Amino acid sequence: MSEAAAKPNLPEYSVSEIAAALKRTVEDGFPFVRVRGEISGLKAASSGHVYFDLKDDKAVLNAIIWKQSARLIRLKPESGLEVIATGRITTYPGSSRYQIIVEQLELAGRGALMAMLEERRKRLAEEGLFDAARKKKLPFLPEIVGVVSSPTGAVIRDIMHRLNDRFPRRVLLWPVAVQGEKAAGEVAAAIAGFNAMTANRPDVLIVARGGGSLEDLMAFNEEGVVRAAAASAIPLISAVGHETDTTLIDFAADRRAPTPTAAAEMAVPVRNDLLAQTLDFERRTLRCFTKSIEDRRRHLAQLARVLPRADQLFALPRQRFDRAAETLGHALRRNLQQHRREFTEATALLRPQPIRRHIRQCGERTEALGRRLKQSQIARLAEARRHVEGLGRVLESISYRSALARGFALVRGADGAIRRRAAEISGAETLRLTFADGDAGAVATGNPAQPKSKRKPQGGQGSLFE
């Protein structure tokens, strides 16, 4: 068989050519599709791209959201959500797989949306954002009411109209979009902005929007809006939708109003009702005061009837007063006589002769005491002197200088230390000898004398004079 006959008739492709041909075929066949499936294997890369899988009960499709599209997609992908992904099908030659490049992402039906909201509600509730202990009490009569709402809708007009009817207050409006992609970010920024104000800061906030579908109210279910409402230091009233509409901001708010008009009614009391209540309190206070005065007057009249007459009431005290006045005159006279007698006796004692004699006696006694004091002082000093002299003699008798006077000498070495034994003196050492009348130098010569060891004689007692 020839070589030409051995070659097959099929064309020969490289791997890259086959991959490119498949890529063109898939992209031409599925240029723009909508795929429904459940998100799994969600992974956000550091580059900003988002990777996940779309699956059903029979197959799995790889999905990618590029960084540019991820910023524009309103729905944040989460594992377990059933979604409808819109995009184009393509292939990835590096691993021989096909995938969808997602450009839009939406929940697959109302049931999936409600499931997502329920899961978000449970997660935020576990964080404590909906706890009743976090709720703040609304002020009774706020000076400034802050409103977060659309500036063109009927909501702000209803709130202003209701506030003016009940109790006119100053209103600050923070205009925001209440529907659309930017709505959630603007509402959260408005709540934070009101809380950051230092001048003209509202006393209460109303976040309001009219009714609508669940999709229309989704901005108030966003996590950022819920967290901003929970973190608000200003008491916040949620008035989103109609009475049957419920959003997640309602759980985080301090109060929930069924309608924006009801929110205005919660924010301020009715002025006319307060005036009527004040007048009623005034009438009741005046009536109670008048009744109290009448009761006291009646009680005083009853007491006056049982009290005795004035002349009877003061008769006994008046009699005691008259008796005391009469007794006082006699007592004053006796007191004067007693003091005059004592004064006379004192005058007799102050005659000149007894005074001089008394002074002379005191002087003699003082001189005698002075002589006794002087003699006693001399005797104590003499006794102390004898005691000190005796101590001096004792000190002199035990002093080493008395030994020096008897012919002894004090020997010190060159280092100033006292040499008490000959063994402590080295040959040719310079010594200093202290005598009774002064010091003298000396030099040691020869070997110091070694102490003789006395041997005990063999047997017997030995001599006592050795």
Number of helices (H), then strands (E), belonging to the chain: the values are 13, 13
Nearest by Cα to 156 from 166, 167, 148, 168:
148
pLDDT averaged over every residue in the chain: 84
Query: Is 50 exceeded by the pLDDT of residue 465?
Result: no
Asked if residue 376 is part of any domain, the answer here is no
Residue 449 phi, psi dihedral angles, 5° rounding: -65, 130
pLDDT given for residue 446 in this prediction: 61
pTM above 0.85, yes or no: no
Confidence class of residue 317 from pLDDT cuts 50, 70 and 90?
confident
Query: Is 70 exceeded by the pLDDT of residue 2?
Result: no
Confidence class of residue 75 from pLDDT cuts 50, 70 and 90?
confident
Asked if residue 338 is part of any domain, the answer here is no
Which residues are bridge partners to 434 per DSSP? 410, 439
pLDDT given for residue 1 in this prediction: 47
Half-sphere exposure (CA, 13 Å, Cβ side) for 54?
A: 27
Instruction: Kindly state the tokens that stand for 223.
Output: 């996590």
Same domain, 87 and 211: no
Same domain, 203 and 259: yes
Asked if residue 316 is part of any domain, the answer here is no
CATH number at residue 181: 3.40.50.261
Q: 258: helix, coil or strand?
A: coil
Instruction: Kindly state the tokens that stand for 1.
Output: 């068989």
pLDDT tens for 170-226 read 999 999 999 887 889 999 999 999 999 998 999 999 999 988 777 778 889 899 999
Same domain, 44 and 64: yes
Same domain, 261 and 175: yes
Q: At which of 252, 269, 286 does a domain end?
A: 269
Same domain, 98 and 202: no
pLDDT given for residue 460 in this prediction: 47
Region 111-121: mean pLDDT is 78
pLDDT tens for 219-271 read 898 999 999 999 999 999 999 988 777 889 999 999 999 999 999 999 999 98
Residue 207 belongs to what domain range? 117-131+142-269
Same domain, 195 and 59: no
Same domain, 161 and 248: yes
Residues 393 and 410: beta-carbon distance below 8 Å: no
CATH number at residue 98: 2.40.50.140
Query: Is 50 exceeded by the pLDDT of residue 454?
Result: no
Same domain, 184 and 253: yes
Asked if residue 419 is part of any domain, the answer here is yes
Same domain, 19 and 121: no
Same domain, 104 and 121: no
Number of domains in the chain: 3
For residues 271 and 294, what is the distance between their CA atoms, to the nearest angstrom?
35
